[in-house]
């Protein structure tokens, strides 16, 4: 069959890499893709916010299956739009996508179905904020309701700072929403837990740990993620049981109960403290860069899995994984997540011929046969080996050899696990 991946990041390159292994695949497309996906698929240079144009292009190329990578088109209802036109598409509906699209929706779900999560409160005015803050201890987490590309969350050491942040969100700092919540600060270690679900059944589709901060030792500004490894070492069997019973099952059942049947990838961002998992947030898609490490380790056929999910035929069998752990290190443009320069030439990239070693591309573009940086996060050096340390050393080695004057990456990915 002909398959099209929507998106242009490292996650989408990794999805293309995995789909490419399927015997069911005839032709692979990526919309709009990057210089890496161009090597293994046909890039379709389409604006992915233009659903009509996406539909026309799908028809033109006789695409049988669409796999949506990023959250924005999902939250804007691409699945409903394409399903209405009888196109097979993998991902949650617009209603179900509220789990990521609205923090208020997600926190209300947690309350209604008793899902362990930080204590929270929605604030409608500054007066209300002043009053409600009395019930919270510092530090206080302030969150804008809608999608904010990772910039909607601040951890405020003082109530004064929290009030300032609440004020600016209420007065429209984010165009997606002016609703705001405050949350209790959770301590512990973060981990990501992924399931694929057809609304009734689900399977675990990997665990990973991301590194959100720009600097080594987890310091500096928050980013989309600077590196990840899989499996997560803190999600032991006993913790996983709690994640499934207290978080995943009530969510899938609860979503069905309120008329928002959830189909697709469900990504639980968790805080684990003393073996007790709490839900920080839900994402409605694979993580980036977590997807990169999962797709290297997954041994099952991704097209089969997606088809079974769409057809509501997922069974309860566990998926097959390679035994070796996998690490990905994100190379970013110097300056990211703030100002950075684009269109710097990148030379000496490895050839990507190995199954357990891939230099996934994110913000890259090819011009006249040369490859240039084209975004904040640019490359993901992804390696699976017998142990995490060897995998990280190899991933660093691949990056060290790349010639690109703007490169920046953390050398300490997995530091907690290697401590």
Q: List all residues 6 or more positions away from 272 whose beta carbon is below 8 Å from its beta carbon.
A: 188, 189, 190, 191, 234, 235, 239, 278
Contacting ligand AMP (CB under 6 A), which of 74, 118, 195, 291?
A: 118
Which CB, 101 or 170, lies closer to ligand GLY? 101
Least distance from ligand GLY to the Cβ atom of residue 291, Å: 8
Point out which span in 45-53, 181-189, 227-235, 247-255 binds ligand AMP (CB under 6 A): 181-189
Report helix, strand or coil for 163.
helix
Alpha-carbon distance 59 to 257, whole Å? 35
Residue selected from 38, 165, 198, 288 as contacting ligand GLY according to rule CB under 6 A: 288
Residue 290 engages ligand GLY in binding (rule: CB under 6 A): yes
281 counts as binding ligand AMP under rule CB under 6 A: yes
Contact of 2 with 60, CB cutoff 8 Å:
no
Contact between 153 and ligand AMP by CB under 6 A: the answer reads: yes
Beta bridge partners of 222: 213
Minimum separation from the CB atom of position 298 to ligand GLY (A):
17
269 binds ligand AMP (CB under 6 A): yes
Using rule CB under 6 A, residue 105 touches ligand AMP = no
Which backbone phi and psi does 237 adopt, to 5 degrees? -50, -45
The reply on whether position 326 binds ligand AMP by CB under 6 A is: no
| 73 scored as a contact of ligand GLY (CB under 6 A) | no
> Please, which residues bridge with residue 121 across strands?
182
Binding residue (CB under 6 A) for ligand AMP from 129, 142, 280, 291: 280
If binding is defined by CB under 6 A, does position 225 make contact with ligand GLY? yes
Please report the DSSP string for 213-267 in residue order. Answer: EEETTTEEEE-S-SEEEES-SS--HHHHHHIIIIIIHHHHHHHHHTT----EEEE
Nearer to ligand GLY, 57 or 204 (CB): 204
The continuous run of DSSP H or E covering 42 comes out as: strand 42-43
Nearer to ligand GLY, 225 or 337 (CB): 225
By CB under 6 A, how many residues form the interface with ligand AMP?
11
% helix / strand / coil in the chain, to the nearest 5? 30, 30, 40
Task: Say which entry of ligand GLY, ligand AMP, none residue 225 contacts (CB below 5 to 8 A, set by partner kind).
Answer: ligand GLY
**Distance (Å) of CA 352 to CA 13, 160, 379:** 12, 51, 12
Least distance in Å: CB of 224 to ligand GLY?
Answer: 6
Closest approach, Cβ 355 to ligand GLY, in A, equals 23
| Residue choice 5, 210, 262, 270 for contact with ligand GLY (CB under 6 A) | 210
Output 232 or 283, the one with its CB closest to ligand GLY: 283
DSSP 195: E
Of residues 60, 36, 38, the one with CA closest to residue 28? 38
N-to-C CA span, the chain: 46
Number of residues that bind ligand GLY (CB under 6 A): 7
Which residues form the interface with ligand AMP (CB under 6 A)?
118, 141, 153, 183, 185-186, 190, 212, 269, 280-281
Which residues form the interface with ligand GLY (CB under 6 A)?
210, 224-225, 283, 287-288, 290
């Amino acid at each position: 069959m002909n398959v099209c991946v929507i998106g242009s990041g490292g996650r989408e390159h990794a999805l293309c890499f995995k789909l490419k292994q399927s015997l069911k695949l005839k032709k692979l497309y990526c919309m709009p893709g990057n210089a890496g996906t161009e090597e293994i698929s046909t890039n379709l240079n389409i604006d992915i916010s233009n659903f009509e144009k996406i539909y026309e292009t799908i028809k033109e190329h006789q695409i049988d299956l669409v796999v949506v990578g990023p959250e924005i088109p999902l939250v804007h209802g691409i699945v409903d739009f394409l399903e209405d036109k009888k196109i097979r598409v993998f991902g949650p509906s617009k209603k179900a996508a509220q789990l990521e699209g609205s923090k208020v929706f997600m926190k209300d779900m947690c309350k209604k179905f008793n899902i362990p999560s930080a204590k929270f409160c929605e604030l409608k005015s500054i007066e209300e904020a002043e009053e409600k803050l009395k019930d919270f201890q510092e530090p206080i987490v302030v969150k804008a309701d809608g999608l904010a590309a990772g910039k909607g969350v601040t951890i405020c050491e003082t109530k004064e700072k929290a009030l300032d942040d609440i004020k600016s969100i209420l007065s429209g700092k984010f165009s997606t929403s002016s609703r705001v919540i405050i949350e209790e600060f959770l301590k512990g270690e973060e981990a990501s837990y992924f399931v694929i679900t057809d609304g009734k059944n689900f399977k675990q589709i990997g665990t990973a740990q991301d590194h959100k901060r720009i600097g080594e030792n987890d310091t500096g500004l928050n980013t989309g993620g600077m590196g990840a490894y899989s499996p997560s070492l803190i999600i032991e069997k006993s913790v996983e049981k709690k994640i499934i019973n207290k978080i995943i099952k009530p969510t899938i059942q609860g979503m069905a109960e309120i008329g928002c049947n959830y189909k697709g990838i469900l990504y639980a961002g968790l805080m684990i403290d003393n073996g007790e998992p709490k839900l920080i947030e839900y994402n409605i898609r694979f993580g980036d860069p977590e997807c990169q490490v999962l797709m290297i380790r997954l041994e099952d056929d991704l097209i089969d899995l997606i088809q079974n999910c769409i057809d509501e035929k997922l069974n309860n069998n566990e998926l097959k994984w390679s035994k070796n752990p996998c690490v990905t290190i994100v190379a970013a443009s110097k300056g990211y997540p703030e100002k950075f320069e684009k269109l710097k030439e990148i030379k000496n990239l490895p050839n990507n011929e190995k199954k357990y070693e891939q230099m996934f591309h994110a913000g890259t573009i090819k011009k006249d046969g040369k490859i240039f940086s084209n975004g904040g996060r640019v490359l993901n050096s992804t390696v699976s080996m017998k142990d995490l340390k060897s995998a990280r050393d190899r991933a660093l080695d691949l990056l060290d050899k790349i010639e690109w004057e703007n490169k920046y990456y953390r050398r300490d990915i997995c530091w907690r696990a290697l401590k």
